[in-house]
Amino acid sequence: MTRDPDCVFCKIVAGKIPASVVLESDTALAFLDVGPLAEGHLLVIPREHYADLSAMPPEEAASMASLIPSLGRAARKVTGAEGFNVLVNEGRVAGQEVPHVHAHIIPRAVDDGLGYRWKPKQYAEGKAAELTGRYREALTGE
Ligand code: AMP
């Protein structure tokens, strides 16, 4: 098991600091976020230390993600939320503060004040085709 002794989530996995754990599997763990954006805000993490999602082997990522449907159903039941967001921040630029991969499950209610300030743009002529080609090339052999 890879652990980073300085990592707060590795310390939770090792039982060295407390956490409100709601679900455990052989490979992953889910617990209440200590600074919730909404009541019942959860984090799901792999037991193994990976800095971010793109560092994860696919089977580890799948194992972590496999907990999300039941956690989401439980979040609806427990909090009365009408829905939830699943969010992974990768990299400081995207808001990642803890460098041990984690998915947020954030219960949502109407007019809860949460949300994105994303403004969709449009591709210039030919740009989508160019990007598609570059993505396909980058993914070759992945
Ligand atoms: P992110 O900005 O995506 O890296 O999110 C990190 C999250 O971890 C934040 O929402 C924090 O509130 C949460 N967090 C940090 N330390 C702990 C802890 N010891 N127990 C539970 N949640 C934590």
**What's the number of CA atoms in the CB half-sphere (13 Å) around residue 98?**
21
- Asked whether residue 37 is assigned to any structural domain, the reply reads yes
> Is 15 within a domain?
yes
**Tokens of residue 11, six digits:** 């310390």
Determine phi and psi for 75, rounding to 5 degrees.
-60, -40
* Top mutation candidate among 22, 42, 43, 53 for ligand 1, by most atoms within 8 Å of CB: 43
Tens digit of pLDDT at every position of the chain (142 positions): 888 999 999 999 999 999 999 999 999 999 999 999 999 999 999 999 999 999 999 999 999 999 999 999 999 999 999 999 999 999 999 999 999 999 999 999 999 999 888 899 999 999 999 999 999 999 998 8
Amino acid present at 136: R
Residue 136 lies in a domain: no
Q: Pick the atom of ligand 1 nearest to 41's CA.
A: 10
Indicate whether 3 belongs to any domain.
Answer: no
Task: Please check whether residue 40 is in contact with residue 79, taking contact to mean a CB–CB distance below 8 angstroms.
Answer: yes
Q: Is residue 119 part of a domain?
A: no
Q: Is 102 a catalytic residue?
A: yes
Distance 54 CA to ligand 1 centre (A): 19
Residue 2 lies in a domain: no
For residue 38, give the CATH number of its domain: 3.30.428.10
Q: Give the Cα separation of 106 and 75 in Å (integer).
A: 8
Q: Confirm whether 103 is domain-assigned.
A: yes
Task: Kindly state if the Cβ of 92 falls inside 6 Å of ligand 1.
Answer: no
User: Per the structure, how many domains does the chain have?
Assistant: 1
Whole-angstrom Cα distance, residue 46 to residue 60? 7
Strand pairing partners for 87? 104
Look at residue 90 and tell me if it is in a domain: yes
Tokens of 36: 């919730």
Residue 45 structural domain: 8-114
